[in-house]
Structure 1
Amino acid sequence: MPLPQQMRHVDLQSFGGPEVMQLATGPVPQLRPGEIIVKVEAAGVNRPDVAQRSGNYPPPKDASPILGLEVAGTVVALGEGVSRFTIGDKVCGLANGGGYAEYCALPEGQALPFPEGYDAVKAAALPETFFTVWANLFQMAGLTEGETVLIHGGSSGIGTTAIQLAKAFGADVYTTAGSAEKCDACRKLGAKRAINYREEDFVEVVKAETQGKGVDVILDMIGASYFEQNLSALAKDGCLSIIAFLGGAVAEKVNLSPIMVKRLAVTGSTMRPRTAEEKRAIRDELRDQVWPLLANGAVAPVIHSVMPFDQVVEAHRLMETSSHIGKIVLDLR
């Protein structure tokens, strides 16, 4: 069945607040070698989408300018060289852009089958957070069984994913969150201790919980305002992995001596600039090591809200309140 010429998508007339987004009609993406076209049934909403809408996170030159980094739906076209999927397959994937649309082009190496028992909404809640957590927490920071980890923003989409994966792979998990309700949700997901950062000093709590040692790994999305405290909370040979700058990107008058004294490593990354080969490697490890955990229920996405496609403005407003626990998903079905 031939693809339509036109599709609905979210259009940005300018950068700014959520109200700059509107539904529009435009051409279906062109199929390129190594890509599949997915008829989108659900799309995840993520912080990078908010940053791009605000003008602070431009897409790569060869990527769609349409917002949206994760989708789930049905394969409707195969590009030259695609061998892993066939027409009609149910897939979710990490898009380089273009997810807020009825059709989205996905590189084959960034697509995965729906986990067993999953529908489009649950599957759409997976790619962006699972790719990010796996790459930063396990590949780069090297979290392993028996270690301790502090996850900031534990009630976010990234946080709820990181807590579950760290716990599933045998780590002791500590986390920060901004309310009693969020802390309770983090404990239910497997956190050994959830720290309400509005009421407690997370460095003091971590030191007390680890008998003064500190944690082996910190996954941080706050950045500058937590940098010195994070160094203090790490154990010897620990690793700080920075994935966002919600608390600023420039840290001034920071005491760096703990990096030398405790032999600390500081790392970080964003997903979008990674090469196709790097993303394929992450995809392959997720498929082999994490997808079985999703299929058997050991790990599952936490979904706060499912909203119709035409409520994308409201979805972004909700994201910006930070009142949600888990993922926000747009339903295009």
Structure 2
Amino acid sequence: MRAITIPKPGDPDALVWAEVPDPVPGEGEVLVEVAASAVNGADVLQRRGFYDPPPGASPYPGLECSGRIVELGSGVAGWAVGDEVCALLSGGGYATRVAVPAGQLLPVPKGVGLVEAAGLPEVVSTVWSNVFQVAHLRPRETLLAHGGSSGIGTMAIQLAKAVGATVAVTAGSAEKLAACRELGADVLIDYREQDFVAALADATEGRGADVILDVVGAKYLDRNLDALAVNGRLVVIGMQGGAKAELNLGKLLAKRAAVAATSLRARPLDEKAAIVASVREHVWPLIESGVVRPVVDRVLPMAEAAEAHRLMESSGHIGKILLAV
């Protein structure tokens, strides 16, 4: 088969489309012929040499894919050769074939194209597990999603609105904020021009956000605490703004607030399978009914993964960048 390899970490040109050995599905796995994958921030970090795959995972980037099952490993039930699926991966999506634990498979939702479905598993699993399973966002609460026009952000807006929450977002341009508004965002904050704490306070009559989904990390930690409502929950899922910051426990205590930090890629198989099963139960009906949809910026050939990474790093996209085989 062919895959995007990283012979030596570096800039986008470090990504090389090459012939590699075919994967073999192990017990409880299926082999998927890939139709498309999607670009995630973790792929960029892996390319730079800062985010190695977990032990036993494919060495190739790509944390999600869509395609068709071409082979079943032993012990797999409920799936058949020929099924159209999308999948949450620990790696290996940037390839023509990938072996996937059966518990991380999802059927392609009705009404969604096979290529388009590649942009769903990672963002839906991330948003569902963090905003709803960890932070327990409820109707009539307020969610603040940093990076509202990203793949994560565009999904967070839609899912939060679907449960009856108010949504505030930060983004860095009028075009990106307009896209967020079209998806249902109620409070639009240009982080280049506005202080998000003050803007959120103005919009909520000083109350703040019940849940904050943060991809920035250290740079935003103290201001996120300022932006939290009493009994608020901050979930950190990225470190774009650094890994180390001082946590003001006084602010946390005064607001009776909670801070959680999670990652998805290296979780045990049973935890991933439980998240995927919950996504299939709760989110897939919203997608199939048209309440929630994948937001795709563009589709590039997989052999042009370097160009996709340049676009990702320039932040010139809205929603997901897909790579089609």
Give the TM-score range, shorter chain: over 0.9
Which of the numbers 242, 246, 271 marks the counterpart of 1:248?
A: 242
Partner of 2:264: 271
Deviation (angstroms), 1:296:
1.2
What letter corresponds to residue 55 of structure 2 in structure 1? Answer: K
Aligned to 2:251: 258
Report how far residue 222 of structure 1 moved: 0.5
What is the alpha-carbon distance in structure 1 between the residues aligned to residue 248 and residue 58 of structure 2? 42
Number of the residue aligned with 1:305? 298
- Structure 1 residue identity aligned to 2:321: I
1:172 to 160, 166, 174: 166
Q: By how many angstroms is 1:29 displaced? A: 0.6
The yes-or-no answer on 1:327 pairing with 2:309 is no
For 2:295 and 2:287, how far apart are their aligned partners in 1?
12
Distance 1:96 1:255 in 2: 34
Query: Separation in 2 of the partners of 1:255 and 1:288?
Result: 38
1:154 paired with 2:151, answer: no
Instruction: Output one character per residue of 1:66-92: Cα deviation in whole Å (capped at 9) or x when no partner.
Output: 111101000000011110210000000
2:206 aligned counterpart, secondary structure: coil
TM-score (norm 2): 0.98
Secondary structure of 1:313's counterpart equals helix
Supply the AA of the counterpart residue of 1:70. E
Instruction: Identify which of 294, 311, 316 aligns with 2:309.
Output: 316
Counterpart position of 1:288: 281
Q: How does 1:11-26 map to 2 (within 5 A)?
A: 11-26=5-20
CA distance in 2, matches of 1:309, 1:277: 30
CA contact (8 A) 2:39 2:321 kept: yes
1:31-70 matches, cutoff 5 A: 31-70=25-64
> In structure 1, what is the Cα distance between the partners aligned to 2:77 and 2:163?
31
Whole-Å Cα distance in 2 between the matches of residues 148 and 249 of structure 1? 26
Distance (whole Å) between structure 2 residues aligned to residue 187 and residue 268 of structure 1: 27
Please state how far the C-alpha of 1:61 moved relative to its aligned partner.
Answer: 1.0
Structure 1 residue ranges (4+ consecutive) displaced by more than 4 angstroms after TM superposition: none
What residue in structure 2 maps to residue 4 of structure 1? none
Question: Which one of the candidate residues 176, 187, 193 is aligned to 1:182?
Answer: 176
Deviations along 1:231-289, one digit per CA (max 9) or x if unpaired, are 0000111000000011111114x533110111110001110121111111111111111
5 Å-filtered alignment, 1:162-241, equals: 162-241=156-235
AA in 2 matched with 1:323: G
Q: How many residues align?
A: 325
Contact 2:90 / 2:266 at 8 angstroms: preserved in 1?
Answer: no
Q: Confirm whether residue 108 of structure 1 aligns to residue 102 of structure 2.
A: yes
Using the alignment, how far apart are the partners of 2:3 and 2:209 within structure 1?
44
**Structure-1-length-normalised TM-score:** 0.96
Alignment root-mean-square deviation, CA: 0.9
Alpha-carbon deviation of 1:170?
1.1
Structure 1: unaligned runs, 5 residues or longer: 1-6
Aligned-pair CA distance for 1:211: 1.1
